[in-house]
Chains A and B, each alone.
Chain A
Amino acid sequence: MRLDTALWRAIAVYRLAALLYAAGSMVAFSGTYARPALGWAVLSGMVAWTAVTAVAYSRPELRRWPLFVLDLGLTVTALLSSVLIMSRDRIEDGDPTVTVSWAAAPVLVWAVWSGWTGGAVAAATVGGGAVLVRGGASQATVNSLVLLFLLGAVVGYVVQLARQAQAAYAEAVALQSAAAERERLSRSVHDGVLQALALVSRRSSDPQLAALAGDQEAALRRLLVGGRPEVLASGEVDLRTLLPTGADVHLAVPASPVLLPGHRARELAAAVGEAVDNARRHARTDAWLLVEDEPDGITVTVRDDGPGIPDGRLAQAAKDGRLGVAQSICGRLRDLGGTVDVHSASGQGTEVELRVPR
């Protein structure tokens, strides 16, 4: 991730700059130290740790909690060593500690690691160390504490925002390239395979082969135009995209989307699917679907061209298993607050009319 690489590099740069400042500060103040030799030793340790972290944090597999905890621990230890290195009265006078602003580096590390909470925790730890060194909270100590907290929390928060933005950007790029890829595919498939399949389905003298090619053509075409999100931002779904298809299903639908809330659309489509299966199984004919989008509701009519149910033969139909399916369809429609009407007459096929209010 490019964002993270940049952040960790920035921290390494900060630590190096702060190290130079600490070195300059030691050159200036080492004359007043109680134990200058220890001071230089601690400074060498800080140089070494700056180098180690610069390398370690550049490798993603090492950026884990043990290193972060060690970083914070060592830094606070270096800060606390000021008590041994400096003389008591100089500390009380407010002379800079051995680590100066180098001690703020782990606050940045923790902020980048786990957001504003991580930054705040590290700021509290380093700040606590500073209060220990000073033996109390003077005005200057409180000021640096506040700055430290702001640093941790603000950097952590901004990093969180930046990561979210980057994720959103990556997603947008992925979506865009997927759409571009689909368009490219769809162009070449449209010009080649689809034309060939349509031709086979038209010219083949074998009706089974023709039907198969026709089915595959329709399925492939749906695949190409589909894929665009069928759920709108409003949570509504175009019922037309959910209806059963096949060479034996003839659709009559409006030209514009037939919108229903997602759950209602899926339930209605499922009921339509059962009615179509019913037609396939019992009437053994093609099925015709008419979708009508009216101001007060949506009507889907499923018609088959079978022998129909003769008057007074509903008992026989129940025995054949037709009513069982009808009951399941009725159940779904009742849950949607809709109605089911079955019109059938001997020799005129069967029409199942499903109505759902808006």
Chain B
Amino acid sequence: MCPADPVTSAPSPLRLVVADDHPIWREAVERDLAAAGLVVVGTAGDGEKAVRVCTATRPDVLVCDLQMPGLSGVEVARAVSATTKVLVLSASGEQQDVLEAVKAGASGYLVKSATAAELVDAVRRTAAGDAVFTPGLAGLVLGEYRRTADDERAPKLTSRETEVLRLVAKGLTARQVAERLVLSHRTVENHVQNTLSKLQLHNRAQLVRYAVEKGLAD
């Protein structure tokens, strides 16, 4: 992942919801976050409850498992990402689901084996509006743009964005990318954020188009 600059601590502590169907995990994540001074305002053991809790408590960030009974992490991300930033925690080997969750509006993902410090850092950056871009996610996003390269309606990457994504996917930190391309750190973050926003926008447009077509057909 790209360890960002240390985020200056906000005046009021961040409010979080943790959703995971494994109690043991949920509690561990909760403890790690609380130990770092963050406030967990709600927890959920399934997707539907995660959506309800988020609607009721309006947290800054939802930390969400991908595989949950009821609604999946992808569906939860789709349901709440308009009002709540979503950080997906996933096991390895769930690339397709991770990509879907990110397209559905999640700001980033972290593998479950990440350390407590990495988790807290990721939550802070998600709350600050940055994409949590691990090399793995950069690889998925690159692959998605390549997959849809022939689709005229699909969004395209600029050559600069491709360059940045490739470097992130190869494990360079945002700072190293900035150095290598002689850009500011902020510009690198913006490029990364853009690649994600374009995918999410396109995904939402597709959903709307699908709904309209469905509506017209009915």
A residues neighboring B (CB under 8 Å): 191, 194-196, 198-199, 201-203, 214, 217-218, 221-222, 225, 247, 250-256, 286, 288, 290-295, 301, 303, 305, 348, 351
Q: Are A294 and B146 closer than 8 Å at their CB atoms?
A: yes
Does any Cβ of A come within 8 Å of B99's Cβ?
A: yes
Distance from A276 Cβ to chain B, minimum over Cβ atoms (Å) = 13
A-B contact pairs, 21 of them (CB 8 A): A196-B24, A202-B113, A202-B114, A214-B113, A218-B113, A221-B92, A247-B113, A251-B139, A252-B135, A252-B140, A255-B98, A255-B140, A255-B144, A256-B96, A256-B147, A286-B171, A290-B166, A292-B143, A292-B146, A295-B149, A301-B170
Q: A199 to B26, alpha carbons, bound, how many Å?
A: 11
Q: Is the CB of A255 within 8 A of B135?
A: no
Instruction: Tell me which residues from 25 to 64 in chain B have a Cβ below 8 Å from any Cβ of chain A.
Output: 25, 28, 32
| Interface residue from A202, A254, A295, A351 paired with B143 (Cβ < 8 Å) | A254
With A202-B28, A221-B91, A255-B98 already in contact, the answer to whether A288 and B171 are too (CB < 8 A) is yes
Which residues from chain B contact A218 at a C-beta distance below 8 Å? 92, 113
Residues of B within 8 A of A203 (CB): 28, 116
In order of increasing CB-CB distance, the 6 nearest A-B pairs are A254-B143, A252-B139, A288-B171, A252-B169, A255-B99, A255-B95
Residue of A nearest to B173 (CB): A305
**Contact with A254, one of B24, B142, B149, B170 (Cβ below 8 angstroms):** B142
A191 to B152, CA, bound (A): 43
Nearest B-chain residue to A301, judged by Cβ: B170
Residues from chain A with a CB closer than 8 A to the CB of B149 are 295
| A-B contact number at CB 8 A | 101
Q: Does B180 contact A (CB under 8 A)?
A: yes
Query: Inside 8 A of B92's CB, which chain A residues have their CB?
Result: 218, 221
Docked CA distance A196–B113 (Å): 11
Nearest chain A residue, comparing its CB with the CB of B103: A255
Q: What residues of chain B lie closer than 8 Å to A303, measured between beta carbons?
A: 170-172
A195 and B135 in contact, given A203-B116, A254-B147, A290-B169 (Cβ under 8 angstroms): no
- Residues on B with beta carbons closer than 8 Å to the beta carbon of A253: 95, 136, 139-140, 143
Nearest B residue (CB) for A218: B92
What 0/1 pattern do residues 75 to 119 of B give for CB contact below 8 A with A? 000000000000000011101101100000000000011111000
Residue of chain B at shortest CB distance from A258: B143
- Are A202 and B116 within 8 A (Cβ)? yes
- Most A CB atoms within 10 A — which of B24, B112, B113? B113
Verify A288–B135 contact, CB threshold 8 A: yes
Check if B160 is an interface residue, CB within 8 A of chain A: no
Bound complex: CA A253 to CA B146 (Å):
12
| Closest partner residue, chain A, to B139 (CB atom) | A252
Interface string of B164-199 (1 = CB under 8 A from A): 001001111000100010000000000000000000
| Chain B 135-158 residues near chain A, CB threshold 8 A | 135-136, 138-140, 142-144, 146-147, 149
- Considering only CB atoms, which chain A residue lies closest to B143 in the complex? A254
On whether the beta carbons of B93 and A222 are closer than 8 Å, the reply is yes
In the bound complex, do residue A195 and residue B25 qualify as a contact, i.e. CB atoms below 8 Å apart? yes
Give chain A nearest CB distance to B161 CB in angstroms.
Answer: 15
- Chain A residue numbers with a CB within 8 Å of B166 are 290, 292, 301
**Contact between B24 and A199 (Cβ–Cβ < 8 Å)?**
yes
A351: chain B residues within 8 A (beta carbon): 170
User: Which residues from chain A contact B95 at a C-beta distance below 8 Å?
Assistant: 253-255
